[in-house]
Each structure stands twice: as structure tokens, then as C-alpha cells.
Amino acid sequence: MSGTALQVDALTRHYGGVRAVNGASFEIPEGSITGLIGPNGAGKTTTFNMIAGAETPTSGRIRFRGQDITGRPTHELFHLGIVRTFQLPQEFARLTALENLMAAAPGQPGESILLNWLAPGRVRAREAEVLERAEESLAFLGLSQVRDIPAGNLSGGQRKLLELGRTMMTDAQLVLLDEPGAGVNPTLMLRIADMIRRLNAERGYTFCIIEHDMDLIAALCDPVIVLAEGRVLTRGAMADIREDPRVIEAYFGGGAA
């Protein structure tokens, strides 16, 4: 790891008199798998939404590799390499697993009616490239056996893996994962965790993960950032955070971690 992938400075988001995020500041190191945890209502999802361009901050700044991206829309951030997944997968239910991956690939000239007429060779060449990349992604994720099955018929864990596959079809640099373990059986959760590690190690993806499963966070993430009441409470290794009295009080309700 070297440098900072994402820098959040004094970020706030107000809804009338409610301050969902209230001056949060933190950094996501380049090449890291960073965890973002906190009790319900801590501001985690709102923070993700602002980083991903789905919501505009009331104040504060967000920088990606030194570039100010505050308030930029999702489609612009996508082309910078910032990709976000959701707690409930957002697949195209009627398309097959393969078609879902192919649809995620950027820069497809076949989307232009004019280019289909004027440059059919270029369209076919790009389609072949996208198909090959989609097949490779399915194989990487261990999903080749569901290649031609509609995504809506897949299990929850397979759909989470498919979402990771869609990030692989892009030029992802920073991947924001919203509860990858939610609703997933333990066997598939191990596979998802392994895929995250491999994408980090082999493809250089930087991850930021919201997750309520503390064992998963401990196994995957370093550093871990704790939000409480819209602010950063602490940051560090999970082993230290589990013993922090402030975290025990705010996140674990005064009980053992």
C-alpha cells in the first residue's frame, strides 16, 4: 500500500434538523480493505451514498487520489473507477448471469444505433472482448455453472458474487461494498471473502466495506473506521477496536465485543 485512495474531510449531511453525518473525516489507504462500522444510525450508508455520488454533502470535501469529487454524480465517478454495490443486490433479474456481466462493461459501441450501421466490425470486436471478459469473470468467481441462469433465480450469495463480477467488468479502482455478508449462508460467505481478498491482492482493488458481521470485518479489514452519531469515533486494527471502551459503549451497547 502507498498513498491515500480516498480522503473525506469534515463531511456533513443534514436532513432538516437531523444531522445524519456530522463532520466525519477519514482516509482510505490505497490498496487497503478498509472496514466502516458503527451502530444503526451512525451515518454509514449516508456516507457511502455521498462518496458514490448518490447524495450531495451539506458541507465538507471528498477527494479521490487528490481530485475533488464532492457532489459529482454517480456516472462520472463510475468512469473514474469508483463502484458501489448494495446490501440488496441490484441485478437485472431476467437477464442471465453472463448477460448481467456483459451489460456492466463500459465503452460498448453497439449501444449506438449509428455505429451499428457505420462500424459493424468495431461493434463485433468489442462484443467479443466483453464476452471473453465476462466468461473469465464467471470462472474467477466460480459461477460458470450458472452462466445461462436468470440472475433472479440465483441464491443470495451467488447474486452477491455476481455483483463483484460486475465490478470486474469495469475499470474499478475503489469498490464500496454495502454489507456483502447480509443474507448469505456461511459457505458462500467464505467464497465472497476469498474473492474480495483475491481482487485486492491480484487486481489491486481498494475496498471500503460496511458490514455488521464483526468476525468478517476482523478477518478482512485493516484499518477499521468506527462511526457513531455521524462522526468518526476511532480508527485502527479490529483487535484494538474490540477493546476500546468507547466502541463497546457506542457500538456494542456496553456488552462484550
Residues 37 and 13 in one domain: yes
Residues 72 and 185 in one domain: yes
Residues 58 and 177 in one domain: yes
Q: What pTM did the predictor assign?
A: 0.85
DSSP letters spanning 134-196: HHHHHHHHT-GGGTTSBGGGS-HHHHHHHHHHHHHTTT-SEEEEE-TTTT--HHHHHHHHHHH
Residue 211 covered by a domain = yes
The CA distance from 123 to 28, in Å, is: 38
Residues 76 and 183 in one domain: yes
Would you state the pLDDT for residue 257?
A: 33
R_g over Cα of the chain: 19
Q: What is the b/e burial string over 23-47, where b = at least 16 CB atoms within 10 angstroms of the residue's CB?
A: ebebbbbbebbbbbbbbeebbbbbb
Would you state the pLDDT for residue 110?
A: 58
User: Mean pLDDT in runs of 10 for the chain (257 residues)?
Assistant: 88 93 96 94 93 96 96 92 80 92 76 66 80 92 94 90 88 90 83 91 94 91 95 94 88 48
Last residue of a domain, one of 112, 134, 153: 153
Q: Report helix, strand or coil for 118.
A: helix
Would you state the pLDDT for residue 117?
A: 64
Residue 256 covered by a domain = no
Would you state the pLDDT for residue 255?
A: 40
Helix (H) or strand (E) holding 241: helix 238-242
Would you state the pLDDT for residue 254?
A: 47
Contact yes or no for 46/21 (Cβ under 8 A) = yes
Domain with 40, as residue range(s), is 4-91+158-250
Residues 149 and 183 in one domain: no
